[in-house]
């Protein structure tokens, strides 16, 4: 869908009818529908391929252009006998005055073609998100779900019977959609019972019920229930919040996080987007910042015990975990290239960072230039880095013993057996690699040049 916003000022009431007259100053086009879900996925740093349909018309070409600009790979059915859905909103003083929908029924052949393309695109993916707006693009959900071939499926449904999504890992209805399926619930125990029973009878593993200002409730088919309170922010506009939650559930599930962890993060992301105007996406930096300030959520395993558990879980799923360590005081091009090279040696990269005291012992007075929290925060924002953990010991050997990575990487001109911890890693069957450094890139030299200047 294409979401178009007409911005202007409503300063008086029309003489023709009791409606405001808006003097339009400008317009803005945004991605809507499943395209907004895809935008949220890439905003969280993941790769995304969008399968869907647009009309062979100017609005369809606008959607395709916005998708390309956002870096979203597309496989779009372009239909000559159908026009792209347009939702046009008139906004005055940051409030919606009116909305006009331009929409026609979708020919049935489009759904068949979308299902075929989805089956082709599901090869090699980590998760599949189905956005079913009940507009005709997903006529028979089982055709798409079965094409996933074991990949976890997250579904954002509308008003089809939930059993039509049998086999999904997570079904994400809102309050209205859920209530249509189960009716009224008098209290929380009744909600938990009805939700778990519905998940079980529908053949889905769990239902993530979004409840607006009440937060999100995760209802497992097993009977377990987890309620997450809404983020404590002022709600500006709830448009597209469900899209953000679905996208975040998809990204977290693709990273093989548990449903509880995924729901925590998705709940915070959904709250953040409600503070924005119109259909919007949540970026990774703002989400990480909100997660760090939310005591209920731990987005990335930061403690050693939690990190060890996450590494073990990743390895049990066949992922190769790479480990490197250093001070990373002033991040420069050499660091970025080195970490990118290290990440290419496996599926996950852990960066262990010397705490401030150990940097002073290693580098001398006046170091580090940036404190531990700042250094870790910068590293967390690199797309090549999965986990960041600090250590206070002289060497990372104790940390290596606890988490047992598959590959230990160091930069420089060492021989592999000269790397600290090499004997330990090789002793349990791990690999040690040495990557060269970029010439002319040195934190110590940078510090010296700044002092000299």
Q: How far, in Å, CA of 209 to CA of 188, rounded?
A: 13
In the DSSP assignment, the letter for residue 107 is P
Alpha helices (H) along 255-344: 259-273, 284-293, 304-316, 333-343
- Tokens for 205, please give them: 């593993």
Phi/psi at 30 (5° precision): -135, 155
User: Distance between terminal CA atoms of the chain?
Assistant: 55
Based on the residue annotation, tell me whether 29 is a catalytic residue of this protein. Answer: no
- Tokens for 147, please give them: 């094409």
Give the DSSP letter string of 147-188: TTTT--EEEE--SS-GGGGTT-SEE--BHHHHHHHH---SSH
Which distant-in-sequence residues (6+ apart) come within 8 Å of 233 by Cβ? 271, 272, 274, 275
Q: How far, in Å, CA of 314 to CA of 256, rounded?
A: 8
In the DSSP assignment, the letter for residue 92 is E
Q: How far, in Å, CA of 121 to CA of 79, rounded?
A: 20
- Tokens for 102, please give them: 């331009």
In the DSSP assignment, the letter for residue 430 is -
Q: Are strands 170-171 and 153-156 parallel, antiparallel or unpaired?
A: parallel
Angle between helices 188-202 and 175-182 (to 10 degrees): 80
Q: Are 378 and 350 contacting, i.e. CB atoms less than 8 angstroms apart?
A: no
Secondary structure in 3-state letters for 361-386: HHHCCCCCCCCHHHHHHHHHCCCCCC
User: Angle at Cα 266 formed by Cα 264 and Cα 272, nearest 5°?
Assistant: 110
Put the strands of the sheet holding 407-411 in their side by side order: 387-391, 348-354, 321-326, 407-411, 431-435
Q: Which residue among 3, 132, 156, 243 is the active-site one?
A: 243
Q: How far, in Å, CA of 198 to CA of 80, rounded?
A: 40
- Among all residues, which ones are annotated catalytic? 243
């Amino acid at each position: 869908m294409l979401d178009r916003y007409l911005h202007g000022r409503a300063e008086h009431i029309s003489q023709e009818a009791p409606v405001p007259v808006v003097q339009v100053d400008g317009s803005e086009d945004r991605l809507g529908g499943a395209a907004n879900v895809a935008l949220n996925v890439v905003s969280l740093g993941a790769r995304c391929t969008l399968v869907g349909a647009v009309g062979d018309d100017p609005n369809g070409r606008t959607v395709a252009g916005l998708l390309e600009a956002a870096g979203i790979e597309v496989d779009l059915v372009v239909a000559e006998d159908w026009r792209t859905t347009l939702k046009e909103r008139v906004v005055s003083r940051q409030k919606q005055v009116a909305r006009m929908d331009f929409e026609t029924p979708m020919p049935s052949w489009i759904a068949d073609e979308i299902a075929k393309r989805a089956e082709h695109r599901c090869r090699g993916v980590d998760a599949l998100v189905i956005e079913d707006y009940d507009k005709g693009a997903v006529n028979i959900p089982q055709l798409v779900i079965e094409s996933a071939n074991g990949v976890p499926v997250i579904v954002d449904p509308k008003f089809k019977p939930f059993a039509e999504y049998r086999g999904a890992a997570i079904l994400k209805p809102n309050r209205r959609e859920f209530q249509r399926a189960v009716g009224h619930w008098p209290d929380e125990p009744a909600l938990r019972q009805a939700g778990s029973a519905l998940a079980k009878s529908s053949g889905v593993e769990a239902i993530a019920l979004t409840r607006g200002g009440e937060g999100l409730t995760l209802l497992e088919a097993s009977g377990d229930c987890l309620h997450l309170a809404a983020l404590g922010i002022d709600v500006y506009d709830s448009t597209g919040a469900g899209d953000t939650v679905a996208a975040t559930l998809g990204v977290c599930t693709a990273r093989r996080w548990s449903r509880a962890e995924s729901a925590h993060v998705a709940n915070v992301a959904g709250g953040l987007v409600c503070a924005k105007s119109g259909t919007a996406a949540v970026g990774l930096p703002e989400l990480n910042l909100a997660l760090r300030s939310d005591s209920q959520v731990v987005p990335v395993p930061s403690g050693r015990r939690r990190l060890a558990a996450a590494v073990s879980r990743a390895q049990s799923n066949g992922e190769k975990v790479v480990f490197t360590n250093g001070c990373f005081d002033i991040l420069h091009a050499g660091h970025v290239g080195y970490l990118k090279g290290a990440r290419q040696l496996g599926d996950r990269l852990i960066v262990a960072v010397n705490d401030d005291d150990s940097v002073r012992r290693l580098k001398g007075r006046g170091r580090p230039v940036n404190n531990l929290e700042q250094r870790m925060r910068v590293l967390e924002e690199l797309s090549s880095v999965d986990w960041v953990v600090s250590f206070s010991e002289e060497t990372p050997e104790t940390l290596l013993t606890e988490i047992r990575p598959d590959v230990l990487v160091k930069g420089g001109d060492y021989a592999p057996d000269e790397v600290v911890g090499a004997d330990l890693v090789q002793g349990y069957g791990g690999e040690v690699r040495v990557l060269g450094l970029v010439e002319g890139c040195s934190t110590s030299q940078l510090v010296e040049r700044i002092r000299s200047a």
